[in-house]
Structure 1
């Protein structure tokens, strides 16, 4: 089911809540400049194993409202907190991809865990995001030809072959975002540094990262593993920045192993 949650006056986030009867909850935070649909190949599988899967579109992206401001890690983490409070989530797994991983880190540290029992960082943009050079190039492209920028992002995102229809779908996912929010997140990715936050993460943490990642280098995953207590790093040998798709079967198995088996929700027989 899909619904909206108010995170501040005039701003609602879209939430996709799949298998609410699942015995274990995984909250997914998408990457820039995408939305919750990027996890289609997790949502196809994990709910059938008994998990409740929740996808949240950040402000400015996907189906969520698109205010002009609020595109910094603290506000984005506060948005997630508002959703967690509204849904009364406790003892859940928080999984963030790329920039979503940075938001997940900020959320866990800012809220002293915030109900998170385990953390999954997927090709995460941490401790840092884009270099100043990369950010300048992407910002210029975003403000002048955003569609062409999305084409370039798609070209370097995956390690394995993707079909043209898949690439078209992926590009359109990015184009659903507002132009101003797309640009604002580039600036955020240029400016933040989460190094000091990493040692404050006190929940078991799984780091999944493609060794061929051309967006966030694998060396940053190794740095995170050194700095985050109780963390483990699983390299994906045949993945780029999109390990959730490049090696989707392995990815889903690793997630299931880390989260733990869920009880299959009983079938409801129509009366």
Structure 2
């Protein structure tokens, strides 16, 4: 899902949404309903959806934006789940859309935002790709929390053989084509390594997240997707999300990891 930045088939602009500067992008048929709204993961950006947008913009109105803290959007010191939900409200308002007119498509952390939004607002449809059932703090999170930025940038975001092996094992399937993984690594160095240190610690604001008590309250038609080899948000999570959502379909993608 990672792709080269700057190759989006969209019209993009910076806009003030609820007092924060966000990059908003749009393409496709402006009158088409429902509109598709794409929510990237953590730490992601609009260009993660390049291939999906190139396809869906041919028939649908598509909207994507850099969520606060990521891409070209503003990067505050602190964030909360409520911030992301209200940002989504603000983005829909900017494009003159009501929640009932959109299908939310979220990957990973974007899925967390999308499913939580669907719990509180009535939307047209929901697509969850490798979504978060409950937050689990990873070793990578803990390292970033305690190491000085100059050190973890050098260790985690360089092309030394150990780093390359860790990223491939963590985020990709053993069957992932070499060129796809190499594209991810190029973007990883160029984008993720340049994010401010505090952005890499945003996970701390979501460490108590658990969707299990309320997922069954979401009645909207939902497509749940996950890579069979996903080690970040394992298939068992998507299977439980599917079990808890009363109006859902589960699709497991063979030979695919988290990205």
Counterpart check, 1:61 vs 2:78: no
Q: Are the structure 2 counterparts of residues 26 and 171 from structure 1 closer, same or farther at C-alpha, using a change threshold of 3 Å?
A: farther
- 1:150, distance to aligned residue in structure 2 (A): 4.7
- 1:216, distance to aligned residue in structure 2 (A): 1.1
- Larger RCO (CA within 8 A; separation ≥ 6): 1
TM-score (norm 1): 0.78
Q: Are the structure 2 counterparts of residues 13 and 44 from structure 1 closer, same or farther at C-alpha, using a change threshold of 3 Å?
A: same
CA contact 2:46–2:66 (8 Å) conserved in 1: yes
- 1:22, distance to aligned residue in structure 2 (A): 5.8
Decide which of 97, 114, 117 is 2:124's aligned counterpart.
117
2:15 is matched with 5
Please tell me the root mean square deviation across aligned C-alpha atoms, in Å.
2.2
1:179 is matched with 197
Alignment of 1:122-271 (within 5 A): 122-125=129-132, 127-131=133-137, 133=139, 135-140=141-146, 143=149, 144-146=151-153, 148-150=155-157, 152=163, 154-155=167-168, 156-159=170-173, 160-163=176-179, 164-184=182-202, 186-242=203-259
What is the rounded CA distance, in whole Å, between the counterparts of 1:40 and 1:121 in structure 2? 17
Deviates more, 1:158-167 or 1:31-40: 158-167
CA contact 1:141–1:148 (8 Å) conserved in 2: no
TM-score (norm 2): 0.82
Decide which of 94, 102, 114 is 1:86's aligned counterpart.
94
- Aligned residues between the structures: 234
Q: Secondary structure at the match of 1:51?
A: coil
- 1:28, distance to aligned residue in structure 2 (A): 0.4
- 1:132, distance to aligned residue in structure 2 (A): 5.9
What is the rounded CA distance, in whole Å, between the counterparts of 1:61 and 1:131 in structure 2? 20
CA contact 2:171–2:230 (8 Å) conserved in 1: yes
Q: Which runs of 5+ in 1 are unaligned?
A: 243-271
Alignment of 1:44-55 (within 5 A): 44-48=54-58, 50-55=59-64
